[in-house]
Structure 1
Amino acid sequence: MSLKGQRVLVCGGSSGIGAATAALFAGQGADVVITGRSEERLAKAAADIGGAVTARRVDGAAPDEVAAFFAEDTIYDHLVLALSGGSGAGPLATLDLDELRAGFDAKFWLHLRILQAALPRLADDASVTFITASSARAALPGTAGLAAINGALEAVVRPLAVELAPRRVNAVSPGVIETPWWDALPADQRAAMFAEHAAALPVGRVGRPEDVAQAIVMAATNGFMTGHVIEVNGGLSLATGR
C-alpha cells in the first residue's frame, strides 16, 4: 500500500508504539509529523525512522502549545493519539485517588483536548485512532483505576464515529507491550513480569510496538472501518485453561 501524499500526525510519537507507528506510516510513503515533550527523544526517533518525518516539540498538557500548533495551516489525513498516562494503578483499598485523577488528566482528558483542537485541521475523510489498553476489559486485580481511564476513552469511540462522520474514529487496545512505559521497573523485575505474562498468553510472548503499529495503520487506512476497538493483546482475553 502506498500512502504517498497523505499527511499523518502521531501525537506521542517519540518512542514505543507511537514511534513504531510513525515508522510504518513513513515506510508506506506518508509524510509524518511526530510530537512529544522531549526534543531529544523526538530528534532521535526522527533520525532512527528517517524518510519524511518531522519532529515537533508540543506538550499536550499545555493548552497554549496545542493551540499554537494547530493554528498552523496544515491539514492531516490521519491522527494517531498515542499518549500514555502513567498513574492510576494499585489496589482500590490503597489507591491514591489524586493519582487516579492525574492519570485521567494525562490520558483521557489529554486525548480529548488534542482531538478537539485538531478538528479544524483534519481532512473531511480523515481517520482518528486512539490508543487505549486491555485493562479496559480485563479483570486483573489492581487495575480498576487503569480500567476506568481506558474504558472511558473507549466509550467515546462509537459516539464520536457517528458525530464526526464521515471522518472515522477507532481505537487500538494493546495488551502487555515491551516499551519504555515499563522502564520504571527494575530490569530483573521487568523481565520476570514479561516472562510471567508470556507464559500465560496463547502466543507465548509479550507484544512488540510493531505488533500494535500494524493494527493502527490498518484501522487508519481501512475506509470501511469506524467505531471499533481493536484488541492487540496476544490472546489475553481468551480462556486458555493455563
Structure 2
Amino acid sequence: MSERTALVVGGTSGVGLATARQLRARGAVVHLAGRSKERLEALAASDPELIGHRADGGDREQIAEVLDTIGRLDWLVVSLSGAEGAGPFAELDLTSLRGAFEAKFWGQLTTVQAALPHLSEDGSVTLVTAISARAGLPGTAGLAAVNGALEAMIRPLALELAPRRINAVSPGLVDTPWWSGLPQDAREAYFAQAAAQLPTRRIASAEDVAEAVVLAATNRNLTGTVLETDGGLRLSPPK
C-alpha cells in the first residue's frame, strides 16, 4: 500500500492529538488543524513529524485552504468539540446549546463537506461524537442532541458516499482537557467515583479512544458504524 495521508481536525490536544500520533506511527503523513497558535507552536517542537495548520473547523474557507495545501486525502478525522451544552434541561441555556451545535455539529459537517473533493475513492471519514447520544445520563440532554444529530447521519452517508467510508467513534468519560474547567481536586474525585461504577473500573485515556478512531479510519471493512468506546458507561451510568 502506498503512503497514506491523514488530516485530523481538532488535532492539537486530547483524542485528536493522540489519533494523529498513532496514525503517524503507522507510517502515514499526518496533518493536523487547530485554532490555537500556542498549541501548534508547542507541537512543532514536540512532534515535528506532524504537519500543523492553523484553521477553524467551522470556517469552510480556512479548512479549504488547508485541504488545497494537502491535495489528495485518504483519512479524515474530525475531533471538534466544545464545553457548552451540558446541564439540567429545565435550566439549560439555549443560547449555550446553539453554541454547542455551532462548534461541534456544524463544525464537523462544514469540515466533511469541504474535504469531500479531496478524499480518495477508498478514503474514510471518522467523526468523534460522544456516548451521551445514547446513554441516559441526567444533565446531558443538550449534549445528546448534538452528538445524536451527528450519529444519525452516519448510516445514510455511508451509502451516499460509497465506496468512501464514514464512521463515528463514541467515547464516554475520557481524561482530556475537555474537563479542564473543573478544579483538579473536583475532577479527580468525580473520576474516582465514576470509575468505581463503570464495568471497566477505569476512566479512559485519550490514547484508548484514539485506538478506536484509528481502527475506524483505516479498516477498509468498516463503514456506517458507530464504535462505542465508553467503558460500559451506557450500560451502567454513574449514580
What band does the TM-score fall into relative to the shorter chain?
Answer: over 0.9
Instruction: Provide the secondary structure at the position in 1 that maps to 2:69.
Output: coil
Structure 1: how far apart are the matches of 2:60 and 2:211? Answer: 30
| Aligned with residue 44 of structure 1, among 31, 37, 42 | 42
Equivalences for residues 140-155 of structure 1 within 5 A: 140-155=137-152
Q: CA deviation at 1:37?
A: 0.1
**RMSD between aligned residues:** 1.7
Q: CA deviation at 1:65?
A: 1.5
The aligned residue for residue 166 of structure 2 is 169
What are the superposed Cα offsets for residues 16-52 of structure 1, whole Å, 9 maximum, x if unpaired?
A: 000000000011111000100012212323433343x
Is the contact between residue 5 and residue 29 of structure 1 (CA under 8 Å) also seen in structure 2? yes
Matches within 5 A, 1:92-103: 92-103=89-100
Asked if the contact 1:176/1:206 (under 8 Å) is kept, the reply is: yes
Match for residue 126 of structure 1?
123
Name the counterpart of 2:212: 215
Say which SS state the counterpart of residue 175 (structure 2) adopts: coil
Provide Cα deviations, 1:119-155, integer angstroms capped at 9, x if missing partner: 1111111010000001001111110000000000000
Q: Equivalent residue for 1:72?
A: 69
Q: In structure 2, what is the Cα distance between the partners aligned to 1:181 and 1:73?
A: 28
| TM-fit CA distance, 1:72 | 3.5
User: AA paired with 2:15?
Assistant: I
- Do the aligned partners of residues 240 and 54 (structure 1) sit closer, same or farther apart at CA in structure 2, a change above 3 Å counting? closer
Query: Which residue type is aligned with residue 96 of structure 1?
Result: D
CA deviations over 1:78-114 (Å, ceiling 9, x no partner): 0000111221111111101111011000000110011
- Alignment partner of 1:234: what SS? coil
Candidates 106, 109, 118, aligned match of 1:109: 106
Deviates more, 1:133-142 or 1:37-46: 37-46
Alpha-carbon separation, structure 1, partners of 2:98 and 2:237: 35
**Pairwise CA distance, 1:240:** 9.3
Distance 2:237 2:102 in 1: 36
Single out whichever of 115-124 and 58-67 deviates more from structure 2.
58-67
State the distance in 2 between where 1:17 and 1:193 align.
20
Mapped partners of 1:95, 1:141: distance in 2? 12
Distance 1:4 1:191, change over 3 A: farther
One-letter amino acid of the structure 2 residue matched with residue 104 of structure 1 = F
CA contact (8 A) 1:13 1:42 kept: no
- C-alpha deviations, 1:150-170, integer Å up to 9, x for none? 000000000111000000000
Structure 1 spans left out of the alignment, 5+ residues: none
User: Quick one: which amino acid aligns to residue 150 of structure 2?
Assistant: L
Displacement, 1:70?
Answer: 2.9
Aligned to 2:202: 205
Choose the corresponding residue for 1:160, options 142, 157, 164.
Answer: 157
Q: Once the 2 structures are TM-superposed, how far is the Cα of residue 197 of structure 1 from its aligned partner? A: 1.1
Q: Which residue of 2 aligns with 1:224?
A: 221
Alignment-derived partner of residue 11 in structure 2: 13
- Structure 2: which 5+ runs fail to align? none
Q: What is the one-letter code of the residue matched to 1:79?
A: L
- Cα offset, 1:193, TM superposition: 1.1
Equivalent residue, structure 2, for 1:33: 31
